[in-house]
């Protein structure tokens, strides 16, 4: 039952993902959450994020930002990285995950979703049939509703790690 919340992969940081390996495995489309996945909550795109998206474009990936934030927040970040974007996404509803796949001219089978939250990012992307990468939050300061969800996420991660250590 908990498996629907399990990511395909669990990695410390977005910036540690081997994107070349993903490309070599046939993935062509990347969808990213922004806050605490690419930058601290509310922060603009920093030099590291800008360099990452330039690298991803050079590899050949199509990229999309998928955020529950309002247009202004997502646009502020995207003004520096220039990729597809969807704001007020309503994650974990599947509809906008699939819209992001379409914007990237891809299929769910060739798309990877990267995010820091299990109950919105991973759960929705799993239901959309995407390869999911859960990353640890960049910064511990978060909105109260997210802090509360993190306690439940710890339970899911406990069972996820237990299962994957036995493989």
Please tell me the CATH code under which domain 2-165 is placed: 3.40.50.1000
What confidence tens digit (pLDDT) does each residue in 58-93 have?
999 999 999 999 999 999 999 999 999 999 999 999
CB-based contact 88:69 (threshold 8 Å): yes
Q: How many CB atoms lie within 10 A of CB 125?
A: 30
Give CA–CA dist 43/80, Å, rounded: 12
Tell how far CA 1 is from the center of its chain: 22
Give CA–CA dist 153/135, Å, rounded: 12
Give CA–CA dist 52/24, Å, rounded: 18
Record the pTM.
0.90
Give CA–CA dist 60/154, Å, rounded: 35
What confidence tens digit (pLDDT) does each residue in 9-37 have?
999 999 999 999 999 999 999 999 999 99
């Amino acid at each position: 039952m908990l498996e629907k919340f399990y990511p395909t992969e669990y990695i410390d940081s977005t910036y540690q993902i081997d994107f070349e390996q993903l490309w070599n495995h046939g993935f062509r489309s990347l969808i990213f959450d922004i806050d605490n996945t690419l930058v601290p909550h509310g922060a603009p795109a920093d030099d590291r994020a800008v360099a990452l998206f330039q690298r991803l474009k050079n590899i050949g990936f199509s990229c999309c930002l998928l955020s529950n934030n309002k247009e202004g927040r997502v646009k502020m970040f995207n003004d520096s990285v220039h990729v597809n974007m969807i704001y007020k996404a309503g994650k974990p509803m599947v509809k906008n995950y699939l819209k992001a796949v379409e914007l990237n001219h891809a299929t769910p089978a060739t798309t990877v979703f990267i995010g820091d939250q299990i109950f919105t990012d991973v759960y929705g992307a799993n239901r959309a049939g995407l390869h999911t990468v859960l990353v640890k939050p960049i910064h511990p300061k978060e909105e109260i509703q997210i802090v509360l969800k993190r306690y439940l996420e710890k339970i899911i991660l406990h069972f996820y790690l237990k299962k994957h250590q036995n493989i």
